[in-house]
Structures are given as C-alpha cells and as structure tokens.
Structure 1
Amino acid sequence: MKRIKTDLLVIGAGSGGLSVAAGAVQMGADVTLLEGHKMGGDCLNFGCVPSKALIASGKAAWAQSHGQKYGVADVVPYVDYAAAKDHVASVIAEIEPNDSVERFENLGVRVIQEYGVFLSPTEVQAGDTLIKARRIVISTGSSPFVPPIPGLESVPYETNETLFELREQPEHLLIIGGGPIGLEMAQAHQRLGSQVTVIEGLKALGKDDPEMAAVVLNNLRAEGIVIEEDALAAEVRGAAGAIEVETKDGRIFKGTHLLMAVGRKPNIDKLDLEKAGIEFTRAGIKVDDGMRTSNRKVYAIGDVAGGLQFTHVAGYHAGLIIRSALFGLPAKERTDHIPWATYTDPELAQVGLSEARAKEKHGDALEVVRFPFSHNDRAIAERKTDGLIKVMVVKGRPVGASVAGYQAGELINLWALVIANKLKMSAVANMVAPYPTVGELNKRAAGAYFSPRLFENPKVKRIVGFVQRWLP
C-alpha cells in the first residue's frame, strides 16, 4: 500500500472539484485529486455540454424548416442523427483538454484515477494508495435517479448518461419527467425529426414560475411535442422499439425509445461516509453555510451537498472552499443571487425570489414589474416576440427576476449581478444599452418601474410646471 500526505484532497473531478484543485495548487497547496470515472464529470460528458450541442443541432434543423417568415423558403431538412451525435462528441473533445489529467498534472496536482473510500475522518483509500489529508473536499456530483417503476427493470431505457451515445434516431421518444432535462431533450429530438411524448407526474417545469413556464410550454406544444401532465407512471412494459408506459389513471403511451429524466441522486454510495463521521441523507451530504460537513475537516460542494444542482453552483462553492480551507477566512454560502436557466427555445431563466415566494416573504411591500418581449425592436426583427421579463422589487431593490423568452439565459445575467451586489433599480435604469439589442429589455423593465412614479405623479407635474414658468 502506497501512503501519501497532502494539504488538500479533492474527491471528484467535476466542475467544482476541478476548480478547487486548480485554484488551490496555483496558490501553493499540495493537492491530490481523485476521479474514478471521467474527468470533467457529468457536465462535460453527460450533461450541460452534450445537451447544448444536441440542442444546437435541433436549432439548425428547425431553422431550415421555418424560414418563410424571414423571406427564406421552408425546406425539409435531412437529419443525420448519427452525425448530430458526432457533433456532440466533437464539442466534448474540444473542451476535454481543459479538464484533462495532463493539464492538472502540469499545474502540479497529483491525479489518481481511482474512486475514494473513507477509512477514517482524515484518511481515504484510492486503489492501492492511502491518503492522509489536512482538508478534504467531496465533489462527487450526482447521477440520474431512476424510480422503481414496475416493469422498468426489464425494459431498455436511456438516461442522460447513455442518451448521447445512442446512434439510432428514436422514431417516437417517450420521456418520463417534465423538468429542464426532459424538456430540453424533448425539443431537441422533436426538431431532429422524432415524435416526442413527455409524461410528467405533476406539472411540467413545476419548480418555475407558472406564468413564465406557460410561455415555454405553449411553444413546445405548438412545435408538436405532446406534454402530458398529472400523469404518474405506474408501469412500463414492452421491448426495444415497442415500449408502453401506463400511468396511474390508466392512460397508455406508446413509443420506440424511453428516456428517464425524473431527477438526480447524490453520488455518495462509494464513499463509506460513516467511517469519516459525515452525516448525510437521501438528498445529499449535510453541510453548514460554509459547506463544511459534520466532520470539520471535510467539505462537500456541488450536487452532492444536496442544494441547487447546477454546474455554476459547484463553481461558486469552489470559490468558498478556496477562501475557507486555504486562507482560513470566513466564507458563507448564499443562494439569493444564484441564477439558473432552461435552454429550451424560448429559454426560461430565474434568479432570486419568484413572484409567489416574494409575495410570501414581503407581502404588500412587493412590487412586480412586467415588460413584454413584443415591445423590444430587436425581438421584433428576429421574430422572437413570445416572452416576458418580470422583476420583483422591494423598496427599490430587485429581490428576484424571471425571464421567459429569446436569450433568457443571457438576459438573467444582469439581474444576477444586480441582486448579488444589492443594487437598486436605478442602477439598471441608468445603464445605456446599445440599440437595437435584446439586452435593452432589462433597461426597459427598469423604466417600467419608474414610469408611473414620473409620468403619473401629480407632484412631479407641479414641479415641472413651476420650473418651466421660472426657467430663463
């Protein structure tokens, strides 16, 4: 058994773990990184990167068949599904070197390509290596949760970890789960020529603002995607090419392929956390607001910590760990400024409080400002006018923003900046946006907040009248 000592042991080479390892080693720490599967984790190999690449293929096909409104004749696109998957693989390969073993070893990180198992509060075994660490960061991420639906054990199905290796185009894809993953893949496959039925046990996009979610769902249904809600899967049967899903209320849906997209589970099974004195639940490892576990020498970040499951959250957690574990400075997690987006077309994005939660928290002090995409000249030029910005404001400060529409994932960035820095609506109103841009919508939303205060205020009109009478 080989034995090593290290300042910082990082278990898991996903987004958060890689950020911690790169930052710590460049600041002078001795860093050991463990990864028993693929460098880059879920995001690079099975999640954010491949899904957005396949979405791009779907957009290209959709553009060919929907150009008439721009004066370009519609054509039926020839879709080579296997070639689209080659595009996905190429995108992963282009990004892969940034997350590679070679890059991190060149930075000075000791990389061990094995899973880590705790032996004690400060010791971890990885293959034939025993590692004793001053501080440990668990960043093992999450994996697809597959519920125990009767019959599923004998029917072939895909998850996000297998879908991008599928070379045969599904004729009719059944998707169990109407959340972001399910709907992104539904639209990509519909646009590439598959029939798609989404089967959701509750409400599609149920974690998002219903008003904003409706903008997306109406567009997806208009494209031909069947979205069945309140359809809890009770049984799955059939074989490859002929699969049936029966719901609790007796509805039956037939397709050729099945994708399970009902949620995620934390990757904790291999860690033997009990031996390290680390508390956990089915949702993930328990952490305090500094991302520390019940073992004060061990941190947990990203999906495995059971909070918001987004790649950028893991990156944010990494920054907290650098501050705390390397410099001994206080670091406290906050979530009010964390944005997220669903990359359907149109997109859906959120930061801070939704309208419903803002009403619960702030009551009558809340003002909700709305501004439609249909009043933005660039959106009109692009024929992308289905959409809405909604900003929740309390005493002049935004406490949340929701965007549904073209480039919502880009538009939300400004509101994330505003909320993170506790800026007022006046900061956005004072911004000068280039014309014509979709980003001008943010400024117009701020203007909609101030308009009634300026144009419908008798006091303002009296002041202007007085000044005009006395102005030389």
Structure 2
Amino acid sequence: MTDIKCDLCIIGAGSAGLSIASGAAQLGRKVVLIEKGKMGGDCLNYGCVPSKSLLASAKTAQGFRTAEKFGIGAVEPDVDFAKVHDHIHSVIAAIEPNDSQERFEKLGCTVLREAARFIGPREVMVGADKVRAKHFVIATGSRPFVPPIEGLESVPYLTNETLFDRTSPPRHLLIIGGGPIGLEMAQAHRRLGAEVTVMERGTIMPKDDPELVEIVRQRLIEEGVVLHEHTDITRVGGQDGAITVQGQKSGGAFDASGSHLLVAVGRRANFESLDLEKAGVETHDKGIKVNDRLRTSNKRIYAIGDVIGGRQFTHVAGYHANIAVRNILFKMPTKNKDDIAPWVTYTDPELAHVGLNVGMADEKREKYTVAEWSYDENDRAQAEHANAGRAKVLVGKGGHILGCTIVGKNAGDLIGPWALAVANKLKIGAFTSMIAPYPTLTEVSKRAASAYYSPTLFSGKTRKLVSLLSIFD
C-alpha cells in the first residue's frame, strides 16, 4: 500500500473535476485526481460533445430536404450512419487530449484510475493507495436515471451512454422522456431517416415557457416526430428490433411499437459507492448536501457539479469549480448562485433561457412587464428563412432584467448577453443603448428591449411633449 499526501484530492475527472484540478495544479498545489471511468466524464464521452456532433450531422441532412426555399433543388440525403458514428467519435478524439491523463500529469497532478471510497474524514482508498488530503472535492457527476417500469429490466434499451456507439440507424426509435435529451435525439434521428415516437408523462420541456415551447413542438410535428404527451408508461416488452410500450393516455389505453428504445427521463447523482458516511458527509434524495459555498457537512470536503443534484449542466459544473477554487485556495467566501445559469435545448429551433420566465415569476409573485420581439420582423431571419422564433424578456421594478427566453435560430448564442445582464443585475436600457450590427439576429434582442419602452414612447403624453418641444424649432 502506498500513502499519498496532498493539498487537494479530486474525485471525478469530468467537467467539474478537471476544471478545478487544472486551476489548483497551475497554482502550485499538490493535486491528486481520481477517475474510475473515462477521462472527460459524461460531457466528452456520452453527453454534450457526441450529442451536438450528431445534431450537426442531422442538421446537414435536413438542409438537403429544405434547399428548395433557397432556389436549390431539394433531394433526400444519402445518410451513411456508420460514417455519422465516425464523425461523432472523431470529434470526441479531437477534444480528448484536453481532458487526458497525460495532460493533467504534465500539469503536475497525480492521476489515479480506480474507484475511490472514504475510510475516514480526510482519507480515501483508491485500489491499494491511501490518499490523505487537506481538502477533498467530490465531482463524480451523474448517470441516466432508469425509471421503475415493469419489464424494462428485461428489454434491450438505450441511454445516452450507449446511444452514440451505434453504427446502424434504428428503424423506429421509441423515446421515453420529452426533456432536452429526448427531444434533441428525437429530431436528430428523425432527420437521419428513422421513425421516432416520443412519450412524455407530462408536457414536453415543462421547465420552459409553454408559449415558446409550442414553436418547438410544431416544428417537431412538422418533421414527422410523433409526440405523446400526458402519457403514463406502465409496461415495456419485446426484444431487440421489436419493442412494445404500453400505458395510459387521457384515461384510455396506450401502446406503441418500435425497433429500439431510448430512456431519457433525467439524471441521478453518483455517490453511492463512496462510503460517504465514513467521512461524515450527508446526502439527500437528489445528491450530496452542500451549503451555499458548496461545502458538505464535513468542512474539509466540497461537492460540485451534477453530484449535488442541482442544475446539471457542463457550464454549471465549471462555474462550481471556480467557486470551489476561491473558497479552498484563496479563502474567499464565495457563494454559489447557479440560478443565474442559462440553459439551452439544442433542437431546431433552439430554445434558450436564463433567469425567470413567466411561470417562475408568477410563483415568486414578482411584478414584471413582458417585452417581446419576433424573428419574422428580423431581416437576417427573413434572409435565412428562419422566421420561427421569438425573444421574450421579463423586466421588473426599475427596469431590471429578471429573465429572458429565446426560441429560434442560434438562440443558445443569443442568450449570452442576457445571461450577462441577469448575473450583473443590469437594466433593460443596457440593451437599447447598444448598437447591434445589421443584419444580424442580435437585433432581435435589441428590438425586444426597445419594445419595453414602446407603450411609453408612443403614448399620448409623449406625443404632446414632442408637439410642445416643436415650438422651439
């Protein structure tokens, strides 16, 4: 057995763990980084990177079908799914060196590639090695949640951890779950030639503005994705190539058949194998308990990223790493405020959000004004036939920006300035005072902000004022 002593021991080499390991090592701290699976974690290997690579292939395929509107002959694309698979994994391979063991060892980290378990408040066992550290950071991420549906355990089903290994297309993909993962994969596979049926217990994308979700819903239906909302799945059966799903919908029986099944109903935090009770670390039903500085019930141990069960996004994991570095290394009492983090569903059109939407504001009894602008009033959107979209901004007392939701082309990019505004408590005038380049989709944000002032600007009182001022010409 080898005894290793260090300043910081990080368990998990996904987005959160790698971010803090890199920062701490470059600041001269002795760092031990532990990973029992693949370096890069879920984001690189099973999540953001492969899913967006698949979406890129699907978008290219759809471009062939819709070329007519640009004066180019439309054709049905020849999709080679094996080469789509190769494209996905070539992208992973291109990014992989940034997350590799070799890179982090060059930064000065000691990298251990086995499972960790706590044996005390300040010690973990990793294979035959015992690691003692001044501080620990648990960044073990999450895994797909598999619901307790009768028969599911005996059926070959897919999750995001197995979906991207396929080299042949599904004939008919059944998807349980109408959240971001389910809908992104539904549209992607439909565009790549598969039949797709989505089943959701409630409504699709329930955390987002229903009015703007409707724009995404209609696009999916237009492209041939079959949506079954308010559908309670009770049983799954069949075998590879012939899957059946049964349940209830609107008081009646429901059934669907397909060749493959994807389960996409959420995530579950990874912490069960860590023996946290031996370290005095408390948990709850969604993950590890932390305070507003991301410290656990053991003051020497922090937890960041998906494992705490909050907003499970790569960018939030990176943000958590920054907070942990400030608290542990710089002794700066920095609080977590991940309610300011944006999220994006990368369907086409994209749906992006930050801050409060109407439902959230009403629940908090916030007073607000809604300012909106449609893509079909934007010249760049018209030029690119990307008219299906809208920006919807909530403005509170004193003109402070409470939140923004955008549905439409490049909504994920357009939400960036609104995220800046929410994080820094800016007022709506910050957008009206900027000059947006023409013709760009950025003008949608500026025009939405300007719409906030329209009722006052063009009111009878303002008209009288302008008339009065004309006397001084």
Whether 2:413 is the aligned partner of 1:410: answer yes
Match of 2:463 in 1: 461
- Please give the secondary structure, in 2, of the residue aligned with 1:124: strand
Aligned equivalents of 1:354 and 1:465: distance in 2?
Answer: 38
2:368 corresponds, among 366, 369, 384, to: 366
Distance 1:457 1:270, change over 3 A: farther
Note the 1:12-411 alignment, pairs <5 A.
Answer: 12-248=12-248, 249-363=252-366, 365-395=367-397, 396-411=399-414
Q: What are the Cα deviations for residues 237-281 of structure 1, in whole angstroms up to 9, with x where unaligned?
A: 111111100013421100000001011100112111111111112
Aligned equivalents of 2:364 and 2:375: distance in 1?
Answer: 28
Q: What are the Cα deviations for residues 53-111 of structure 1, in whole angstroms up to 9, with x where unaligned?
A: 00000001100111111101111110011110100000000000000001111111111
Match of 1:9 in 2: 9
How far is the alpha carbon of 1:336 from its aligned partner? 3.4
Q: What are the Cα deviations for residues 370-397 of structure 1, in whole angstroms up to 9, with x where unaligned?
A: 1111111101111011111110100201
Q: Residue 191 of structure 2 aligns to which amino acid in structure 1?
A: R
Which runs of 5 or more structure 1 residues have no equivalent in the other structure?
Answer: none
Q: Residue 447 of structure 2 aligns to which amino acid in structure 1?
A: R
Q: Residue 117 of structure 1 aligns to which amino acid in structure 2?
A: R
Alpha carbons 1:371, 1:390 under 8 Å: kept: yes
Aligned equivalents of 2:163 and 2:320: distance in 1?
Answer: 29
How far is the alpha carbon of 1:231 from its aligned partner? 1.1
Q: What are the Cα deviations for residues 325-378 of structure 1, in whole angstroms up to 9, with x where unaligned?
A: 001111101133210000000000110011111123244x31011111111110
- Please give the secondary structure, in 1, of the residue aligned with 2:32: strand
Alpha carbons 1:266, 1:282 under 8 Å: kept: no
Aligned equivalents of 2:338 and 2:28: distance in 1?
Answer: 29
How far is the alpha carbon of 1:282 from its aligned partner? 2.4
TM-score (norm 2): 0.98
Aligned equivalents of 1:169 and 1:462: distance in 2?
Answer: 66
Q: Which stretch of structure 1 is more off in the superposition, 21-30 or 242-251?
A: 242-251
Q: Residue 463 of structure 2 aligns to which amino acid in structure 1?
A: K
Identity of aligned residues (%): 54
RMSD value over aligned CA atoms?
1.0
Aligned equivalents of 2:7 and 2:228: distance in 1?
Answer: 52
TM-score (norm 1): 0.98
Aligned residues: 469
Q: Residue 456 of structure 1 aligns to which amino acid in structure 2?
A: S
2:449 corresponds, among 446, 449, 458, to: 446
How far is the alpha carbon of 1:453 from its aligned partner? 1.7
Q: What are the Cα deviations for residues 305-331 of structure 1, in whole angstroms up to 9, with x where unaligned?
A: 110010100000000001000011111
Aligned equivalents of 1:373 and 1:299: distance in 2?
Answer: 44
- Please give the secondary structure, in 2, of the residue aligned with 1:270: helix
Q: What are the Cα deviations for residues 392-428 of structure 1, in whole angstroms up to 9, with x where unaligned?
A: 1002011111111111101111100111111111011
How far is the alpha carbon of 1:188 from its aligned partner? 0.5
Q: Residue 440 of structure 1 aligns to which amino acid in structure 2?
A: E
Alpha carbons 1:359, 1:366 under 8 Å: kept: no
Post-superposition, which runs of at least 4 consecutive aligned residues in structure 1 deviate over 4 A?
Answer: none
How far is the alpha carbon of 1:462 from its aligned partner? 3.2
Alpha carbons 1:122, 1:133 under 8 Å: kept: yes
Aligned equivalents of 2:284 and 2:333: distance in 1?
Answer: 26
- Please give the secondary structure, in 2, of the residue aligned with 1:232: strand
How far is the alpha carbon of 1:457 from its aligned partner? 4.7
